[in-house]
């Protein structure tokens, strides 16, 4: 891997001393991370390490107790949840989160429409403007769901639903993708499909990936962060992190959660 | 649930021609004509509620507030002994009701679920007590309207509101327009966002939509139409009183909406027809019609979940 | 306002608030434990009042009538829960609203069939018909004081039950985690029946003890239901403590408003509610 490329690429999203407390419980404690453009940043750690909490803070779902989130130079931790998506911070969810009764195309169209405008047009048919559906179709094509275009989302397979969710995020034309266990509950072949997809996507986007499948994370990540008990343990390239004795200890100390 | 368009199309083609000819069959039987007029008016009201509850997922038990306001706004702003223009006042009333809905909606839509049900009810009761306690508006007796508005538009007066048959056609036209309007709205891009919010609000926020604003828009729109229905009712009977604002008005509208098939929009017409038909015939059979109505509602909730529109659709699909 | 009048209004407000608490606590308990919004809860208050009137006519004793009424209410609660409410646990709010609206219709119809639509009244029991003189001109009826004390006693019993007994422990567990209670091998449907029946009985008892203080009229149930909504919205749905605070607030505001701002009196509690909603949309003590 060419290290120069990584050094040159721009910081898009950044956290400074980010904390989230639930009452006395420190779910996230003093996390400072930098996420670079066109880089896949993996986040791993045992259960309860605060990975999902971190994602929920980064996408505006939770408000931080203290600390800052900086996006392209501007602090954004005080803005409303929906405004995160408008700034181009898109996320997928741990539990499949789509519109099950709508077609795949319609799922993506909702996402496209947000930036195309016209959401307050009460009278004109939603199918009138073809550009919108074209962009939505492109997003489906990117994740390989073109053939499922007009099927109802509830009727496609679980793996395809996860792909659809990524397509929806892409349709918002994001600059940062926050992916929460996109491979959870998938079979090997389906996972492989997502891995290939992510390899393509990281050429274009800044991706933050939380994932339990260690092989996938090692294969995909340009940078890796290990978290334990809501705290930052280490960040570095995959090889460096893998050989870090503290990481082994953290995982082994937890007993069963090796992967 | 989404209703297929075929059933709706059949319904529109059967119902509206029949309704157009109905006054001819009834041969100026004013009682039935005016009874049907009331059904049309209430169908507009129930339709606006159906949109909120079935399409937007906003369960309100306070929709009668706007029904009553439609009438009270009229008596507040219209001169007592002078005929005003119907269309101009339609505009005024819808705008004022929308402004009220914007304020109430701002408070109500901060909450959701059970809370929203209770808060909408409480606000409706607040207006109910305001008007029933106020001497300016005749307390429980309400206010009479001595002069009905005239309907001239560009010098052309299509309807004479004193004539029950004319009034019937005005209400039929309004009902058709309301149905048509909601058809457009549900198919629009705004409708797409509303569908998305109904199905998965969290996801819709994550896609960058400010769902509060969309809900507020839908609430305002439906409330203004509810007020329009109340305005028509007030004109038909020539008075407005607090019972229009009572929670029972909201409650029975909700029942009719479910009976018709919640979220189907056109089902509102079916719901009102069947409910009022039952009400009317039971009332003639026994003074304790309320008992049968109550039992019917309970049975309906337990057995008949998709309403009449849902039932019709199943029938059509089977063939 | 003179000091004594202020004092009288203060007790009136507290007493009304405590009565509201009795009804609202049942509503909030049923919601907290079972997730059911029972719109027919106010009807139980009405049923209590009518039953009290009926059995006073039959037996001549208010105490006896109160006991019989409470038992009948408990039975009504059990039957209604077993036959109807049980079907609602996996349904949405809309179905709950509709079914309980249907129940209101049925109860109102039964009331009109059994007892007619004319206002009725119950005599204050002889033992408590006296009044305590506060000043030369102002006196306070003993019965109202008794009602206030009775409500306090019932609230204390409820507090004890919820915090110290096994049933209370299950109720608290059921509020926070339904599955856990089921995993513990407890028959949750029986717990639900008990909770619902207790809720119904609380509302009916409130109706019984309110009967001698106000006239018994059709529609009294709905009136009280709406007041209870305001109480639980203010206090926070599902919180007994919230219901107590909310009820006292509503009682005091309503009473003082009718003296100080008679034109706005029936609107004041809603204005209070709107104000609290602006600050805390989930109520003061939401869990």
- Is residue A3 predicted with pLDDT exceeding 60? no
What is the rounded end-to-end Cα distance, in angstroms, of chain B? 21
ipTM confidence score: 0.85
| Mean pLDDT of the C26-49 span | 90
Among partner residues C37, C98, C110, which is closest to B297 by beta-carbon distance? Answer: C98
Least Cα separation, residue C92 to chain B (angstroms): 9
Tell me the residue length of chain A: 259
C102/B contact by beta carbon, under 8 A = yes
Task: Give the least confident one: B39-43, C43-47, C66-70, C94-98.
Answer: C94-98
pLDDT < 70: residue spans in chain B? 1-4, 28, 318-319
Same domain for A251 and A191, yes or no, is yes
Residue B28: the pLDDT is: 65
Residue C8: the pLDDT is: 85
Residue A4: the pLDDT is: 46
Note whether residue C193 is domain-resident. Answer: yes
pLDDT band at C186 (very low <50, low <70, confident <90, very high): confident
- Is residue C258 predicted with pLDDT exceeding 50? yes
Q: How far apart are CA C95 and CA C88, in angstroms?
A: 7
* Beta-strand pair B239-240/B143-144: antiparallel
Instruction: Give the domain extent around C124.
Output: 21-217
Same domain for A131 and A247, yes or no, is no
Same domain for A195 and A154, yes or no, is no
| Mean pLDDT of the A188-199 span | 88
Beta carbons of B165 and B19 less than 8 angstroms apart: no
Query: Taking CB atoms and an 8 Å cutoff, what residues of chain C touch B133?
Result: 263, 265-267
Tell me the residue length of chain B: 319
pLDDT band at C43 (very low <50, low <70, confident <90, very high): very high
Q: Where do we find the tokens 């909450």?
A: B111
Enumerate residues 6+ apart whose C-beta is below 8 A from C249. C17, C234, C272
C140 φ, ψ (degrees, to nearest 5): -125, 125
* Beta-strand pair A40-44/A223-228: parallel
Residue B234: the pLDDT is: 95
- Is residue A1 predicted with pLDDT exceeding 80? no
Residue A8: the pLDDT is: 57
Same domain for A110 and A223, yes or no, is no
| Mean pLDDT of the C278-285 span | 82
Note whether residue C255 is domain-resident. Answer: no
pLDDT band at C190 (very low <50, low <70, confident <90, very high): confident
Q: Count up the domains in chain A and report the number.
A: 2
Note whether residue A233 is domain-resident. Answer: yes
Q: Count up the domains in chain C and report the number.
A: 1
Q: What is the CATH number of the domain that holds A248?
A: 3.40.50.300
The last residue of one of the domains, among A172, A188, A217, is A172
Instruction: Give the domain extent around A239.
Output: 1-88+174-259
Q: How far apart are CA C17 and CA A25, in angstroms?
A: 38
Mean pLDDT of chain A: 86
Note whether residue C11 is domain-resident. Answer: no
| Percent helix, strand and coil across chain C, each to the nearest 5 | 75, 5, 20
pLDDT band at A253 (very low <50, low <70, confident <90, very high): low
Note whether residue A154 is domain-resident. Answer: yes
Same domain for A114 and A53, yes or no, is no
| Mean pLDDT of the A80-98 span | 89
Note whether residue A94 is domain-resident. Answer: no
Task: Give the least confident one: A206-220, B62-76, B294-308, C91-105.
Answer: B294-308
| Mean pLDDT of the C76-90 span | 90
H or E segment at B20?
A: helix B5-26
Give strand ranges (E) for B233-278.
239-240
List the single best residue of B262, B291, B296 to mutate versus C (max C Cβ within 10 A). Answer: B291
Q: Which residues of B266-303 are buried (b: 16+ CB within 10 A; e: fewer)?
A: bbbbbbbbebbeeeeebeeeeeebbbbbbebbbebbee
Same domain for A35 and A131, yes or no, is no
Q: How far apart are CA A148 and CA A117, in angstroms?
A: 26
H or E segment at C137?
A: none
Mean pLDDT of chain C: 87
Query: Taking CB atoms and an 8 Å cutoff, what residues of chain B touch C99?
Result: 297-298, 301-302
User: Which pTM was predicted?
Assistant: 0.88
Q: CB B217 to CB A61 under 8 A?
A: no
Least Cα separation, residue A66 to chain B (angstroms): 22
Residue B132: the pLDDT is: 87
Tell me the residue length of chain C: 287
pLDDT in tens, B60-69: 999 999 999 9
Give strand ranges (E) for C54-126.
none
Residue A254: the pLDDT is: 52
Q: How far apart are CA A77 and CA A84, in angstroms?
A: 9
Q: Does B contact A via 3+ CB–CB distances below 8 Å? A: yes
Same domain for A191 and A257, yes or no, is yes
Least Cα separation, residue C42 to chain B (angstroms): 13
Beta carbons of B194 and B204 less than 8 angstroms apart: no
The last residue of one of the domains, among A121, A141, A172, is A172
Enumerate residues 6+ apart whose C-beta is below 8 A from C60. none
Beta carbons of A227 and A51 less than 8 angstroms apart: yes
Distance of CA B285 to the CA centre of its chain: 28
Q: How far apart are CA B255 and CA B310, in angstroms?
A: 15
Same domain for A79 and A127, yes or no, is no
Q: CB B206 to CB A123 under 8 A?
A: no
Note whether residue A145 is domain-resident. Answer: yes
Residue B1: the pLDDT is: 36
Q: CB B199 to CB A101 under 8 A?
A: yes
Same domain for A80 and A178, yes or no, is yes
B100/C contact by beta carbon, under 8 A = no
Note whether residue A152 is domain-resident. Answer: yes
Q: How far apart are CA B117 and CA B46, in angstroms?
A: 17
pLDDT band at C1 (very low <50, low <70, confident <90, very high): low
The count of other CB atoms within 10 Å of the CB of residue C71 is 13
Residue A255: the pLDDT is: 47
Nearest to B219 by CA among B59, B4, B77: B59
| Mean pLDDT of the A16-39 span | 88
Hey, what are C41's tokens?
């809860």
H or E segment at C215?
A: none
Q: Does C contact A via 3+ CB–CB distances below 8 Å? A: no
Same domain for A193 and A71, yes or no, is yes
Q: What is the three-class DSSP state of C227?
A: helix
B300/C contact by beta carbon, under 8 A = yes
Same domain for A182 and A259, yes or no, is yes
Nearest to B20 by CA among B40, B44, B6: B40
């Amino acid at each position: 891997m060419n290290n120069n490329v990584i050094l040159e690429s721009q910081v898009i999203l950044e956290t400074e001393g980010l904390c989230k407390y639930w009452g006395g419980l420190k779910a996230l404690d003093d996390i400072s991370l930098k996420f670079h453009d066109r880089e896949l940043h993996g986040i791993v750690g045992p259960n309860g390490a605060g990975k999902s909490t971190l994602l929920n803070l980064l996408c505006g779902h939770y408000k931080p107790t203290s600390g800052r989130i900086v996006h392209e130079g501007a602090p954004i931790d005080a803005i409303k949840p929906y405004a995160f998506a408008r700034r181009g911070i898109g996320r997928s969810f741990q539990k499949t989160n789509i519109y099950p009764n709508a077609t795949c195309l319609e799922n993506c169209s909702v996402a496209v429409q947000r930036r195309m405008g016209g959401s307050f047009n009460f009278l004109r048919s939603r199918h009138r403007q073809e550009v919108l559906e074209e962009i939505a179709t492109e997003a489906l094509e990117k994740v390989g769901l073109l053939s499922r275009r007009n099927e109802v989302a509830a009727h496609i397979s679980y793996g395809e639903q996860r792909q659809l969710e990524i397509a929806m995020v892409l349709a918002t034309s994001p600059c940062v993708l926050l992916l929460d266990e996109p491979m959870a509950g998938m079979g090997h072949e389906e996972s492989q499909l997502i891995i290939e997809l992510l390899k393509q996507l990281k050429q274009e986007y800044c991706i933050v990936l939380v994932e339990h499948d260690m092989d996938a994370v090692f294969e995909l990540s340009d940078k890796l962060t290990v978290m334990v008990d809501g705290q930052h343990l280490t960040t570095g390239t995959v090889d460096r992190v893998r050989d870090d004795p503290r990481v082994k200890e953290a995982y082994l100390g937890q007993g069963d959660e090796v992967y | 649930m989404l209703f297929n368009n075929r059933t709706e199309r059949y319904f529109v083609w059967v119902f509206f021609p029949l309704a157009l000819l109905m006054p001819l069959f009834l041969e100026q039987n004013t009682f039935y004509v005016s009874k049907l007029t009331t059904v049309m008016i209430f169908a507009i009201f129930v339709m606006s509620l159906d949109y909120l509850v079935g399409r937007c997922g906003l369960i309100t038990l306070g929709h009668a507030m706007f029904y009553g306001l439609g009438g009270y706004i009229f008596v507040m702003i219209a001169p007592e002994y002078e005929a005003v223009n119907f269309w101009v006042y339609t505009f005024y009333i819808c705008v004022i009701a929308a402004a009220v809905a914007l304020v109430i909606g701002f408070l109500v839509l901060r909450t959701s679920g059970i809370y929203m049900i209770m808060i909408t009810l409480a606000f409706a009761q607040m207006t109910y007590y305001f008007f029933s306690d106020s001497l300016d508006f005749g307390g429980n007796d309400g206010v009479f309207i001595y002069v009905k508005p005239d309907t001239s538009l560009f010098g052309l007066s299509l309807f004479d509101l004193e004539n029950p048959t004319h009034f019937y056609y005005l209400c039929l036209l309004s009902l058709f327009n309301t149905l048509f309007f909601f058809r457009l709205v549900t198919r629009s891009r705004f409708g797409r966002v509303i569908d998305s919010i109904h199905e998965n609000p969290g996801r819709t926020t994550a896609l960058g939509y400010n769902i509060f604003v969309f809900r507020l828009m839908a609430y305002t729109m439906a409330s203004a139409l509810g007020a329009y229905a109340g305005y028509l009712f007030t004109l038909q009977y020539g008075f407005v009183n607090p019972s229009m604002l009572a929670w029972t008005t909201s409650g029975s509208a909700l029942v009719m909406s479910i009976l018709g098939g919640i979220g189907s929009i056109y089902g509102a017409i079916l719901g009102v027809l069947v409910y009022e038909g039952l009400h009317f015939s039971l009332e003639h059979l026994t003074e304790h019609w309320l008992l049968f109505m109550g039992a019917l509602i309970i049975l309906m909730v337990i057995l008949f979940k998709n309403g009449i529109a849902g039932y019709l659709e199943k029938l059509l699909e089977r063939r | 306002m003179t000091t004594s009048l202020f004092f009288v209004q203060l007790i009136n407000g507290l007493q009304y608030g405590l009565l509201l608490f009795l009804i609202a606590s049942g509503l909030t308990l049923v919601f907290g434990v079972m997730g059911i919004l029972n719109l027919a809860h106010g009807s139980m208050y009405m049923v209590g009042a009518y039953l009290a009137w009926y059995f006073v006519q039959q037996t001549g004793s208010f105490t006896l009538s109160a006991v019989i009424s409470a038992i009948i209410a408990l039975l009504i609660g059990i039957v209604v829960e077993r036959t109807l409410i049980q079907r609602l646990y996996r349904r949405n709010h809309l179905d709950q609203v509709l079914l309980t609206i249907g129940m209101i219709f049925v109860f109102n119809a039964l009331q009109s069939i059994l007892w007619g639509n004319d206002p009725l009244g119950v005599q204050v029991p002889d033992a408590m018909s006296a009044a305590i003189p506060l000043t030369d001109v102002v006196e306070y009826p003993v019965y109202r004081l008794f009602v206030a004390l009775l409500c306090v006693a019932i609230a204390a019993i409820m507090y004890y039950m919820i915090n110290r007994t096994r049933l209370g422990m299950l109720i608290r567990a059921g509020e926070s985690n339904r599955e856990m209670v089921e995993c513990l091998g407890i028959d949750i449907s029986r717990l639900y029946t008990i909770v619902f029946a207790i809720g119904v009985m609380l509302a009916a008892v409130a109706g019984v003890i309110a009967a001698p203080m106000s006239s018994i009229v059709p529609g009294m149930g709905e009136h009280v239901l709406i007041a209870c909504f305001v109480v639980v919205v203010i206090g926070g749905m599902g919180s007994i403590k919230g219901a107590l605070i909310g009820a006292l607030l509503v009682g005091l505001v309503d009473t003082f408003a009718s003296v100080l701002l008679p034109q706005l009196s029936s609107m004041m509690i809603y204005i209070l509610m709107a104000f609290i909603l602006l600050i805390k949309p989930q109520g003061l003590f939401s869990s």
